[in-house]
Amino acid sequence: MEAYSAFAPVYDLFMDDVPYEAWRDYLTSLLKEYGIEDGLVLDLGCGTGTMTELLARAGYDMIGVDISGEMLQAALEKREASGLPILYLQQDMREFELYGTVRAVVSVCDCMNYILDPGELETVCSLVNNYLDPGGIFIFDMNTEYKFRELMGNRTIAEEREEGSFIWENAYDGKERINEYDLTLFIRREDGLYERHQETHFERAYTEAEIRQAVEGAGMELLAIYDAFSRNAPEKESGRICVIARERGKKSGGSA
C-alpha cells in the first residue's frame, strides 16, 4: 500500500472539484437511517481530513486514521484552524488499533480499493467489526471495475495550476483487476522554480461476491450495496459503489 507523500501538500488543490459537502450529506443520511445521529465515528483512511472535519461539524466526535504522515500533517493544520476536537492517528488500516469502540466507521474516496488482497480486505473488515459498538455501522465506497476498465484504464489525465501541475497515467490489468496510477508532480517552490516528484499507486477492483465474502467472513452483516450517492442497486456502468455493513456478535456493553 503506497502512502501519499509528495502529493499530500497539493492534494486538496487538485481535489477541489470533489463535492465533499454533498458526500457528507449522503453519509450522514445513511448513518441517521441506522440510528447514528451523534457519538464517536472513525474516518478510516482520512487523508487530509476534509471529510473528518465535515463530519465533526455535523455533530460527530471524530477519529481519523491514515498511513501517510504527510496527509495527516495537512489534517492537523485544518484542525488547528478549525479548533475541532478531532483525534488523528497514523496507522495502517490493515492493523489499526483504537482505545475502545466507536458507533460507526466510514471510509471514503476509494480508500478500500488500496487493499490489494481479498484476504487483507477481510482483515480490515474484521478489525472494523472488533472496534464497532454492538450493532455499529461500517460504510465504505469503492471504485468499480467498470470505472477502472472503461473510464480510467490506459488513460492519461493532466492538470495545470499556478501552484503545481500533475500527469496521472493509468494502466489497468484486467486479469489481476489492478489499476496502476503513475503520478508525476511538478510542485512550485517559494523561489518560483518547480520540483518534480513521482509516485505510484495501485487500486484493486472487487466483485460484489468478494466484498460479501470479506464482510461476512469478518463476522459482519452485509446490509446493502448501492450505486454511490443513491439508494439504488449498482448498474453495469456504475463507477462507484457504497457498501453498508453492520457489526454483529457483541452483546450490548461489550468493548474491543
Quick one: 216 and 241 in the same domain? yes
Would you say residue 256 lies in a domain? no
Q: Count of domains in the chain?
A: 2
Quick one: 70 and 195 in the same domain? no
Would you say residue 255 lies in a domain? no
Quick one: 106 and 14 in the same domain? yes
Q: Which is higher by pLDDT, 20 or 214?
A: 214
Confidence of residue 194 (pLDDT cuts 50, 70, 90): confident
Q: SS3 letters for the chain?
A: CCCCCCCHHHHHHHCCCCCHHHHHHHHHHHHHHCCCCCEEEEEECCCCCHHHHHHHHCCEEEEEEECCHHHHHHHHHHHHHHCCCCEEEECCHHHCCCCCCEEEEEECCCHHHHCCCHHHHHHHHHHHHHHEEEEEEEEEEEECHHHHHHHHCCCEEEEECCCEEEEEEEEEECCCCEEEEEEEEEEECCCCCEEEEEEEEEEECCCHHHHHHHHHHCCCEEEEEEECCCCCCCCCCCCEEEEEEECCCCCCCCCC
Quick one: 91 and 39 in the same domain? yes
Quick one: 70 and 156 in the same domain? no
Quick one: 187 and 62 in the same domain? no
Quick one: 46 and 133 in the same domain? yes
Quick one: 64 and 113 in the same domain? yes
Q: What is the mean pLDDT of residues 21-46?
A: 97
Q: What CATH number does residue 177 fall under?
A: 2.20.25.110
Quick one: 199 and 211 in the same domain? no
Q: What is the mean pLDDT of residues 4-21?
A: 68
Quick one: 71 and 159 in the same domain? no
Q: What is the mean pLDDT of residues 162-189?
A: 88
Range of the domain at 198: 147-204
Quick one: 135 and 154 in the same domain? no
Reply yes or no on whether the pLDDT at 227 is more than 80: yes
Q: What is the mean pLDDT of residues 93-121?
A: 97
Would you say residue 193 lies in a domain? yes
Quick one: 21 and 132 in the same domain? yes
Would you say residue 253 lies in a domain? no
Task: Report the predicted TM-score, pTM, of the whole model to 2 decimal places.
Answer: 0.92
